[in-house]
Amino acid sequence: MSIAYLSSIVILLFYNPINSCRVEECAAWFQKTKDYENLVPKATERYCQVLQTYLKCMNDTQRFCHGNLRFHSSELVMRRHWKEFECEKWESCNEKNEDKRRPVNTCYFNPPPSSRKIKYCSLFGDPHLIMFNGTIQTCSEEGARPLVDNRYFLVQVTNKNVRGEALTTTVTKVTVLIRKHNCTSSLRYEATSDEEGLPRGFVDGTTFQMKSNSNSNSNAVEVLWQDNNYVEIALHFIHSSIHIRRQGPYLSVSVKAPSIVLETEGDVANEMCWAGCRRSSQISAETAVEQPKKFAECYNRRVHVPKKVAEDRCRNVGNSGTFFDACVFDLMFTGESLTKKDQVPYTKPKNFGKAFYFFLLSLHFSISGDDYLVHLSRNAQSDFRRLAPHHFQSQIIQQRVRQQQEHIRNLNISNSTKIFEKCVPSSSISIIFIPILAFVLIPMI
Ligand SMILES: *[C@@H]1O[C@H](CO)[C@@H](O)[C@H](O)[C@H]1NC(C)=O
Ligand SMILES: *[C@@H]1O[C@H](CO)[C@@H](O)[C@H](O)[C@H]1NC(C)=O
Ligand SMILES: *[C@@H]1O[C@H](CO)[C@@H](O)[C@H](O)[C@H]1NC(C)=O
Ligand SMILES: *[C@@H]1O[C@H](CO)[C@@H](O)[C@H](O)[C@H]1NC(C)=O
Ligand SMILES: *[C@@H]1O[C@H](CO)[C@@H](O)[C@H](O)[C@H]1NC(C)=O
């Protein structure tokens, strides 16, 4: 890795069409690199290299920094170091014979990216997909597909049909493959929903990879296991992380990584985070929630929970926005496998007051096992708020508003009998009416 290469990374990272003084970013990169590599200001080759990159970064932004005190003072200090440590001698050596001067297979951490370059993708629930570009999809794909695949790592998910109901799939397996690099050997992590908890380490039993070449004790890669239901796989050397959650029989996964890491491979057409679900497997969740009966009939699914009850449940645990939508959809259509006698009438029986009916239903569902789905979207929401960059979070919020407006327009013009396409041939009545709810509910209270 040459200085030119390092510099080009820095130029890429710091390039910004917005003309502003980027002194903070140069300084932040310098500081982080110093910390990661345990560098001290001394007359060493590595320190001079880092210094040079930093000065280059400063130089590139200097015309936007007139009168910026921070800029002028740090530049002064760094130029003094440069002189003091006689960094020029390394520079000339590097330029002439850079490959021989540096040990091969050295692990250098990527410079930390600015938050605008961070991308986030998440797959959870039925499943719902939040793509890198902010598009949200609900889909029903079966089989294994890469979620993210690049030069550094691969995240593969397996979606499986649950309970044999049409179009009801969830993530049942997550495989993370970390590719061999100067900073790590090849590593594999596997989580399946039928295991008792998430594994504490990679398949080979290790939980971390130390930076091989440095005297520092920073890990290049590590598994940060919190409990049976949450694990983070941190790839510190590329400032990326993979977050896996488990809720009962369901898994979910989120990926956070800088675009420079994600864009190392040419073809992204097969990666779900870039390309989304296959067209044929996409479901219009919004329409389904509004027209549950039509949706259920068309796809031969069941309405497990009435809309109002689902909304109450999802709101009560604090879900909002996209995660509220996902929660409502999942509760209504993916709910726990209820036995036949537990199935809930979709329409209110005549002999109950409305309020009492909903009260009983709420009670029923707070007792029955749908907590998994509610918590899945809740956790997805808290991960999103904790991990996704702010600009992306506001993009998602704006997009939801736009989509809802568009959705309302579409509903008005379309003939509502045709809102769902490619219906499956119905084999049974999807909504089962039970005349007297009390028999089901009273024993549970
Ligand atoms: C500093 O930037 C100017 C353009 O702003 C460029 O002409 C010059 O070569 C740069 N110097 C260094 C040392 O990179
Ligand atoms: C590993 O290190 C060598 C020498 O520093 C460098 O040439 C090579 O590009 C590095 N490989 C990766 C994947 O960064
Ligand atoms: C995101 O990418 C998908 C797939 O390429 C595309 O269909 C969608 O329109 C894009 N969304 C935005 C907001 O650019
Ligand atoms: C949609 O239809 C309703 C009546 O069914 C009408 O009041 C409303 O203005 C329509 N909205 C749009 C955006 O066309
Ligand atoms: C909608 O479809 C139904 C039957 O499929 C038809 O009777 C009705 O006229 C249609 N309405 C409009 C506005 O196209």
* pLDDT tens sequence across 70-114: 888 888 889 998 988 888 877 655 544 444 445 567 788 888 888
Query: By C-alpha distance, which of 260, 360, 251 is closest to 29?
Result: 260
Q: What pLDDT, on the 0 to 100 scale, is given for residue 335?
A: 64
pLDDT value of residue 148:
96
Calculate how far, in angstroms, residue 420's C-alpha sits from the geometric centre of ligand 5. 14
pLDDT for residue 290: 85
Kind and range of the H or E run holding 34: helix 23-36
Pick 115-278's CATH classification: 3.30.70.330, 3.40.640.10, 3.40.1000.10, 3.30.1360.40.
Answer: 3.40.1000.10
Q: Which residue's CA lies nearest to atom 11 of ligand 5?
A: 415
| Ligand having the closest approach to the CA of 419 | 5
On the 0-12 / 13-18 / 19+ scale of CB atoms within 10 A, 251 is: buried
Looking only at the bridges linking them, the beta strands covering 187-192 and 169-178 are antiparallel
What is the structure's pLDDT at 61?
85
Question: CA dist 377 to 72, 127, 203, 310, 352, Å?
Answer: 48, 10, 28, 13, 32
SS3 88: helix
Instruction: Please state, rounded to an integer, the average pLDDT across all residues of the chain.
Output: 80
Residue 171: CB atoms within 10 A of its CB come to 25
- Ligand 5 centre distance from Cα of residue 143 (Å): 38
Q: Is any atom of ligand 2 closer than 6 Å to the C-beta of 144?
A: no
Compute the distance between CA of residue 273 and CA of residue 270 in angstroms, rounded to an integer.
Answer: 9
Position 416 scores a pLDDT of 53
Give the residue extent of every domain in the chain: 3-101, 115-278, 284-444
Q: How far is ligand 3, taken at its centre, from the CA of residue 392, in Å?
A: 14
Select from 99, 30, 33, 97 the least CA-distant residue to 58.
Answer: 30
Pocket test for ligand 5, best of 294, 415, 416, 419 (most atoms within 8 A of CB): 415
Query: The tokens 């049974």 sit on which residue?
Result: 428
What distance in angstroms lies between residue 348's CA and the mean position of ligand 2's atoms? 67
What integer pLDDT is reported at residue 179 of this predicted model? 95
Model pTM? 0.67
Q: What is the reported pLDDT for 366?
A: 45
409 Cβ closer than 6 Å to some ligand 4 atom: yes
Ligand 1 binding pocket mutation candidate from 59, 63, 87 (most atoms within 8 A of CB)? 59
Find all residues with CB under 8 Å of 402, minimum gap 6, and list them.
none
Phi and psi of 216, rounded to 5°? Answer: -80, 165
* The pLDDT value given to residue 41: 87
pLDDT along the chain (445 residues), means of 10: 48 50 87 84 86 88 86 89 85 51 71 91 94 93 92 94 74 95 93 93 92 67 96 96 93 96 81 93 86 85 86 93 93 62 44 56 50 90 96 93 82 62 57 38 45
